[in-house]
Amino acid sequence: MRGRYAPSPSGPLHIGNALAALMAWLQVRQAGGTFVLRMEDIDTARCRPEFAAGIMEDLRWLGLDWDEGPDIGGPHSPYTQNERLALYGQALQRLDARGSLYPCYCSRHDLLAAAAAPHGLASEGPAYPGTCRGLSPAEAEARAKRKTPSLRFRTHDRELTLRDGIAGTRRVNAAAGGDFVVRRADGIFSYQLAVVVDDALMGITHVLRGADLLDSTPRQLLLYEALGWTPPAFAHIPLLLDPDGRRLAKRHGGITLAELREAGVSPAGVAGWLAWAGGLLPEPQPLLPAELVGRFALAAIPAANITVTAEMLEKLRAAR
C-alpha cells in the first residue's frame, strides 16, 4: 500500500485537515505501507511556503510521520506541485494526441451566463454547455487572435462507476458535469489534472481524503482512463461541519492545531478526539496516532458528515 496526504498550503492546519491526515496515516501504517506527504501548491495566489512549513510542523507535533515528502525527498521527487509542472505538460500532450482536448475561448462572463445550466456534480459548479466544443479550425484561429484559450477535456455520455470505501458505489453520467478545464487560460494546470498525474506517477494505491472531493472523483477517473493509468482505491471521509451546516475550513470556523497547542491541548488529546469524531473510539481519550493504528477500521468511519457541537469542542479543548 502507498497512501498519501496532500494538503494545500494556503493556510494553517485545522482539525478538519487533521482528521483527513490522521485517517490516511492510520490506514497506511496499519497495512505496513509507505506514507507520502505532498504539497499541492499549484494555486500560487493562495499558497505560501510558510504555510507548508507550518503544516509539516503541526503534523509532526500531532505524531504523524512520512516516508517520502518535500523535506526528505524520495524516489518520486519532487513532492511539491510547483516543481512538477513539466509532468503535467507531458500529460496534456498525451491527452491532446488522443483527441481528448479542445481550446475554450469563453470568458468569465460567458461562464457566469451559463450558471443557470443544470449542475451535474454538486460541488463542481454548473455544467459547461460545450460552447467551444464544435468550433471549426477557422473559428478557433480567429478567436485565438483575441483571447488565450483554456483547455477542456471532452467528456462522453456514458455511465461511470465510482467505488468508494466509505460512501459506497455510485453510478454517474460521465458527461454530467460537462467538459472540464485541465489548463486555465493563464497557463495554470487544474487540480483535476495535477492530482491524477501526481498520484499515478508516485504509485499511490490508496487515496483517503475529505468528502468535499468526492464529486470531483468521476472527472479524475476519466483522466486516469484517458492516460492509460490504473486509479487508486478511493475512500472519502466525512467533513466536520459547524452547527449551521457549514464546513470547518481555513477561512471559516476552523480550529487550528497551532491554536490548540498554544492552549495546552496535548497531541494525544487531539488525536484521540479526532479518532472519536471519526468513529474509531466510543469516547474521546488521549491516545497518540501510534496507539491508534490497531483501532483503525475503514468500516467504522461514518459516511455522513459530522456536526461539531459546542459540547464536542469543549471536550477537545479540555484534552490534555
Q: Which residues are catalytically annotated?
A: 250
Type of residue at 282:
P
Type of residue at 88:
Y
Pair 269, 320: CB distance under 8 Å:
yes
Pair 193, 219: CB distance under 8 Å:
no
Q: Give the strand order in the sheet containing 150-153.
A: 101-104, 150-153, 180-183
How are beta strands 34-37 and 2-5 bridged, if at all? Answer: parallel
Q: Which residues contact 20 (CB under 8 A, 6 or more apart)?
A: 5, 208, 209, 210, 237
Q: Give the strand order in the sheet containing 159-164.
A: 168-173, 159-164, 233-237, 206-210
Pair 226, 253: CB distance under 8 Å:
no
Q: Which residues contact 270 (CB under 8 A, 6 or more apart)?
A: 15, 18, 62, 257, 260, 316, 319
